[in-house]
A and B are shown apart, each in its own frame.
Chain A
Amino acid sequence: MDWRLWSLKKSIWVFHVNTGACNNCDIEIVNLLTPKFDVERFGMKLVGSPRHADALLVTGGGTRQAAIRLREVYRQTAKPCVVFCMGACACGMGIFEKGYHMAGPIDSIVRQVDPHAIIAYVPGCPPKPEAMIAGVVKALGVLQPKEKYATERIGQPVVADPR
Chain B
Amino acid sequence: MIDAMQNVFWILVFPGFVFTLAVGLLASWLVRKVGALVQYRVGPPVYQPAVDVMKLMGKEILIPQDAHRATFVLAPLVGFSGVLLLSTVLWLATAGIDYVGDVVVAMYLMVFPSLALILGSSASGSPHAAIGAGREMKLVLSYELPLVLAILVVIIKTAGRIAPGEQLTLAAIAQHAPVLSISGALAFLVALLCVQAKLGYVPFDIAESEAELAGGVMIEYSGALLGVWKLMQAMMLVALPLFLVVVFLGGIDASGLSLLWGIGKFVLVLVLVILIKNTNPRVRIDQAMRFFWFYCGAVLAAAVILASIGSYCDIAWL
Residues of A within 8 Å of B47, CB to CB, are 10
Asked if A48 and B44 make an inter-chain contact with CB atoms under 8 angstroms apart, the answer reads: no
B64 at the A interface (CB under 8 A): yes
- Could you say which of A35-43, A62-70, A122-130 contacts chain B? A35-43
Asked if B55 and A48 make an inter-chain contact with CB atoms under 8 angstroms apart, the answer reads: no
Q: Would you give the shortest CB distance from A50 to chain B, in whole angstroms? A: 9
B3 at the A interface (CB under 8 A): no
B226 at the A interface (CB under 8 A): yes
The dominant DSSP class at the B interface is loop
**Chain A residue with minimal CB distance to B66?**
A160
Residues of B within 8 Å of A94, CB to CB, are none
Q: Would you give the shortest CB distance from A76 to chain B, in whole angstroms? A: 7
Asked if B51 and A11 make an inter-chain contact with CB atoms under 8 angstroms apart, the answer reads: yes
- Could you say which of A1-9, A20-28, A83-91, A95-103 contacts chain B? A1-9
Alpha-carbon gap, A153 to B44, bound state (A): 32
A78 at the B interface (CB under 8 A): yes
Asked if A40 and B51 make an inter-chain contact with CB atoms under 8 angstroms apart, the answer reads: no
From the candidates A35, A43, A80, name the one contacting B51 in the complex (CB within 8 A): A43
Residues of A within 8 Å of B283, CB to CB, are none
A51 at the B interface (CB under 8 A): yes
B138 at the A interface (CB under 8 A): no
**Chain A residue with minimal CB distance to B49?**
A11
Alpha-carbon gap, A47 to B210, bound state (A): 8
The contact size tier of chain A is 20 to 34
Alpha-carbon gap, A74 to B65, bound state (A): 16
B58 at the A interface (CB under 8 A): yes
A71 at the B interface (CB under 8 A): no
Q: Would you give the shortest CB distance from B137 to chain A, in whole angstroms? A: 21
Q: Would you give the shortest CB distance from B207 to chain A, in whole angstroms? A: 13
A3-B58, A52-B226 known; A40+B65 contact, CB < 8 A: no
A40-B36, A153-B60, A160-B66 known; A48+B48 contact, CB < 8 A: no
Q: Would you give the shortest CB distance from B184 to chain A, in whole angstroms? A: 38
Asked if B54 and A38 make an inter-chain contact with CB atoms under 8 angstroms apart, the answer reads: no
B134 at the A interface (CB under 8 A): no
Alpha-carbon gap, A48 to B226, bound state (A): 13
A7-B55, A43-B48 known; A78+B215 contact, CB < 8 A: no
Q: Give 4 A-B pairs besides A11-B52, A38-B36 with Cβ atoms closer than 8 angstroms.
A: A3-B54, A10-B47, A41-B45, A51-B226
Q: Measuring CB to CB, which residues of chain B are less than 8 angstroms from any residue of chain A?
A: 32, 36, 39-45, 47-48, 51-52, 54-55, 58-62, 64-66, 210-211, 213-215, 218-223, 226
Q: Measuring CB to CB, which residues of chain A are less than 8 angstroms from any residue of chain B?
A: 3-4, 7-8, 10-11, 13, 34-35, 38, 40-41, 43, 47-49, 51-52, 54, 76, 78-80, 150, 153, 157-158, 160
10 pairs of A and B residues whose beta carbons are closest in the complex: A48-B214, A4-B58, A7-B55, A78-B222, A51-B222, A7-B54, A48-B215, A38-B41, A35-B40, A10-B51
